[in-house]
């Protein structure tokens, strides 16, 4: 049985995704009439694709604790980290790109020097369940 934790999403991330969507649709709607159609169509598709990706990531990032692994989902991307490879978890304020949509982040170290940042909305519940699945896990308090 897997347990799902939604990502906490900072207002800035939501605003950025919605602003990108607004700009994409505005530019597609208001393009100059005399411009070559092929050029504008390609630009429209690129902008709308970027906006769709930003909205998809913003509203579909979550973390799943399966029976043997942590799986982080973020739009079309996913990361699978077996519990056997997880060595530590600690609070982080890193701005590194990751499937974490809030600056209230946890850094999960695994397989030597690799790590992933997550930002579960229910951080205490996530940590409790992670410790149940990985009893030997080292963690630092906030």
- Residue spans per domain, the chain: 11-58, 63-139
Q: What is the pTM of this model?
A: 0.82
Q: Averaged over 60-68, what is the pLDDT?
A: 96
User: pLDDT tens across 94-127, in order?
Assistant: 888 899 999 999 999 998 889 999 999 999 999 9
Q: Averaged over 120-139, what is the pLDDT?
A: 91
HSE-up of residue 132 (Cα within 13 Å, Cβ side): 11
User: pLDDT tens across 17-62, in order?
Assistant: 888 888 877 877 776 666 666 666 777 788 888 888 988 998 899 9
Whether the per-residue pLDDT at 67 is higher than 70: the answer is yes
Q: What is the DSSP string of 24-77?
A: HHHHHHT--TTS-HHHHHHHHHHHHHHHHHHHHHHHSEEEEE-SSEEEEEETTE
| β-pairing verdict for 86-92 and 138-139 | parallel
63-139 CATH choice from 1.10.620.20, 2.60.120.260, 2.30.29.30, 2.40.10.230: 2.30.29.30
Instruction: Report whether 5 contacts 125 (CB < 8 A).
Output: yes
Q: In which element (H, E) is residue 107 found?
A: strand 105-110
């Amino acid at each position: 049985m897997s347990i799902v934790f939604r990502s906490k999403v900072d207002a800035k991330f939501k605003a950025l995704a919605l602003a990108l969507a607004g700009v994409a649709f505005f530019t597609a709607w208001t393009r100059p009439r005399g411009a070559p159609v092929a050029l504008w169509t390609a630009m429209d598709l690129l902008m709308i694709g970027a906006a769709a990706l930003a909205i998809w990531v913003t509203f579909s990032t979550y973390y799943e604790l399966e029976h043997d692994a942590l799986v982080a989902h973020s739009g079309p991307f996913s990361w699978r980290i077996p519990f056997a490879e997880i060595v530590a978890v600690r609070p982080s304020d890193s701005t590194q790109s990751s499937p974490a949509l809030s600056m209230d982040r946890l850094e999960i170290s695994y397989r030597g020097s690799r790590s992933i940042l997550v930002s579960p909305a229910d951080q205490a519940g996530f940590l409790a369940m992670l410790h149940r699945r990985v009893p030997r896990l080292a963690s630092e308090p906030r």
